Amino acid sequence: MKKLLSTLLLAGVVLWSASQAMAFKPAVVFDMGGKFDKSFNEGIWNGLEKFRKESGIKYREFEVQQEAQREQFLRKLAKRGSDPIIAVGFGQAAALSKVAKEFPNTRFSIIDMVVDLPNVQSIIFKEHEGSFLVGALAALKSGTGKVGFVGGMDIPLIHKFACGYVQGVKYINSNTTVFQKMTGTTPAAWSDPARGAELAKTMFDSGADIVYAAAGSTGLGVLQAAADNKKLSIGVDSNQNYIQPGSVLTSMLKRVDVAAYEVFKTAHDGSWKPGFKILGLAEDGVGWALDEHNAKLVTSAMKSKVEQVRKDILSGAIKVHDYMSDNKCPVQ
């Protein structure tokens, strides 16, 4: 009898896991920007496409167009048995915390925001660490002792980029001046390249020779202005060195594509875990880009110095302050 029971139990487990494997139905809800925003959403789309090509598993997707649709379609996907479900962007946090409570057996991942629930994985990045590195490189490269920062929307997240950058600059040379400007206070600030170019131009005119853009597609204007004025720029999120070869000093990499890919992959092989997933230098979630387009701009001395800084951050010798921990920045 005992044997029969355990056999049945085993068969049950095997069947259950088989059905789980067969029913692997991943899904993603993109935010307002849409999956082809040349920035954040598109980075995630790239990661998911990589998974689809490798595994041959299709995923469901939805692009939000109305506020109410976030909750509606997160719920609809969960109801249809999609699992795991990725919610893209901080805007979906309120909707996700509602829906995740209703479907405790569905696995959710949210990127760039924290939702503290037992079935939600919150993926956030240590943008301040990556920004520290590019700040250090900017200070090493600058000939005028003045560098700039152009942010997108004026939110704590972007101040986190700015604060890490300033810390990196001041670490190398505390006399360097950093000009800081935010593009705007609404989501429109993510997609205003003309304004980005204007802000960068003002900084170049005031003597800056390197400007770091953390501003979505607004940053493309910054890169363009740097190329036009024979100055340097620093890209963000994905490797943007190729966009204006020879005038992009480096790019602060934020690997949302890897993060999104990992969600599907770990959920597929069963190693997906809820809770916080904080991706920093140690996890290769952030970093700086060196390729053939900027190789001439970075001397080997600069490179070894930045690598040294990287190691010091990893070992804890350098502590990079996170703006969002207290909404303050120790240096300006």
Partner 1 sequence: MNENQANVLVVTLVTIINLLLAFFISGIVIWSLGEDPWFALETMLYGAFGYDEGLGYTLYYTTNFIFTGLAFAVGFHCGLFNIGAEGQAYIGGLGVGLICLWLEDWSLWIVFPLAVLTSIVAGGIWGAIPGYFKAKRGSHEVVTTIMFNFIASVIMVNLLSHVLRPPKEMSPESREFAEGVWIPQMHEIFNWFGLEITQTPLNGTFIFSILCLFLVWRLIWFTSWGYEMRTVGINESAAVYAGISVSRNIIIAMAVCGGLAGFVGINEIMGSSHRIMLNFQAGIGFTGIAVSLIGRNHPFGIMLAALLFGILYQGGAELSFEVQAIDRHLVVLIQGLVILFAGALENLFRPQVEQYVKQIVRR
SS3 143: coil
Token code pair at residue 68: 């109410």
In terms of CB distance, is 93 or 172 closer to partner 1? 93
In angstroms, what is the minimal distance from the CB of 34 to partner 1? 7
Q: Are strands 286-288 and 248-254 parallel, antiparallel or unpaired?
A: antiparallel
In angstroms, what is the minimal distance from the CB of 270 to partner 1? 27
Q: One-letter amino acid identity for 130?
A: G
The C-alpha atoms of residue 72 and residue 94 are separated, in whole angstroms, by 12
Return all residues near 193 (Cβ < 8 A) that are at least 6 apart: 217, 218, 219, 220, 221, 224
Q: Are 27 and 82 in contact (CB under 8 A)?
A: yes
In terms of CB distance, is 90 or 132 closer to partner 1? 90
> What interhelical angle do 127-141 and 156-172 show, nearest 10?
40
In angstroms, what is the minimal distance from the CB of 90 to partner 1? 5
Provide the Cα torsion 82, 88, 94, 97; round to 10°. 40
In terms of CB distance, is 19 or 186 closer to partner 1? 186
Among residues 25, 109, 153, 145, which one has the least CA distance to residue 277? Answer: 109
The C-alpha atoms of residue 106 and residue 69 are separated, in whole angstroms, by 19
In terms of CB distance, is 56 or 143 closer to partner 1? 56
Among residues 129, 130, 76, 123, which one has the least CA distance to residue 103? Answer: 76
In angstroms, what is the minimal distance from the CB of 214 to partner 1? 14
Alpha carbon 298 to its chain centroid, in Å, reads 24
In terms of CB distance, is 158 or 258 closer to partner 1? 158
In angstroms, what is the minimal distance from the CB of 331 to partner 1? 21
In angstroms, what is the minimal distance from the CB of 207 to partner 1? 30
Q: One-letter amino acid identity for 264?
A: F
Q: Are 159 and 151 in contact (CB under 8 A)?
A: yes
In terms of CB distance, is 309 or 329 closer to partner 1? 329
In angstroms, what is the minimal distance from the CB of 323 to partner 1? 11
Which residues of the shown chain bind partner 1 in the complex (CB under 8 A)? 34, 60-63, 65-69, 71-73, 76, 90-91, 113, 154-157, 185-187, 324, 327
In terms of CB distance, is 90 or 108 closer to partner 1? 90
In angstroms, what is the minimal distance from the CB of 227 to partner 1? 31
In terms of CB distance, is 64 or 302 closer to partner 1? 64
